[in-house]
Amino acid sequence: MTRTPAGWDVEGPVQAEVFVIWLNGETLELTGPCGAAPWYLELGAVDHPVEVVDRIVREVVGDPLLVHSTSWRRDRDAVILSFVVVIEAGRVGSMDSRPIGRADLARSEATAAPRDIATEQVVEHALRHLAWLAVDDPVVRAGLSPAWQAALAGYVPEPFRNLG
Amino acid sequence: MDAPMSERRIRTRCACGWEASGPEGEVVEATIEHGKRLHNMVATRDEVLSRAEGVDGDALDDAGEVDDGPR
């Protein structure tokens, strides 16, 4: 019997979705070792999500400026924990990168999650979350340069929320 | 006569776009390393082979062997 290969992909009940973001001049860009796209990590039963994301980012990309969880949702047959990882421009190297566009947020109903959530909406929310932290959290504020804070100024601050 | 296992050539593709092709042993090792390093995945040889294909698009059978079609 033959079969069609399913391909190799991250699985498991809890997965991390990492958005590696850097400031190219005045423009926020998405990059990462898997291209300018979400980067998925498998999370084991005893893994601490933040520790796993931080460790693998350091090993693969280099030391980040900031690692922060910004939302969660159900997708890919799993609970997806989204992280924004801020890196210096010098870490991008040969990784693909593209400017981040704006998007409308995926809004929940009063007692139900949004039905569909696009990657662009997750990134939009992540940056609004980061904009909120840049105002509210002294550690984050200290970790972001004035240029970064200026780039985030166009995002309406918004704290952690469930996206799905 | 079948080719020795070490000479069989396979291909694996990761959803992130990474792929490897070549001798089975090298591809399995590279795929396990890719999964561990970039995706925090722990995979066995059998798990890699279960999602591999033969080079030139040959499918593998359920036992991870290249299926040459009817004989």
Residues A70-115: pLDDT tens digits?
A: 888 898 999 999 999 999 999 999 999 999 988 777 666 666 666 6
Task: Tell me if A7 and B17 make a contact (CB, 8 A cut-off).
Answer: no
Q: Position of tokens 């090298």?
A: B26
A59 contacts B40? CB cut-off 8 A: no
User: What is the model's pTM?
Assistant: 0.84
**What does the pLDDT look like over A36-77, one tens digit per residue?**
999 999 999 999 999 999 999 999 999 999 999 988 889 899
CA angle A16, A21, A22 (to 5 degrees): 155
ipTM of the complex: 0.83
User: Taking the mean position of all CA atoms in its chain, how far away is CA A57?
Assistant: 12
Q: What's the gap in Å between the CA of B31 and the closest CA on chain A?
A: 9
Helices marked H in chain A? 49-60, 119-136, 138-143, 146-152
Give the separation between CA A79 and CA A4, rounded to whole angstroms.
Answer: 27
Whole-number Å distance between alpha carbons of A74 and A67:
21
User: Which residues are registered as beta bridge partners of B11?
Assistant: B21, B53
Residue A154 distance to chain B (closest CA, Å)? 31
**Of the partner residues B14, B37, B67, the one whose CB lies closest to the CB of residue A8:** B14
Q: Is B55 on the interface with A (CB under 8 A)?
A: no
Q: Please list every residue in chain A whose beta carbon sits closer than 8 Å to the beta carbon of residue B52.
A: 5
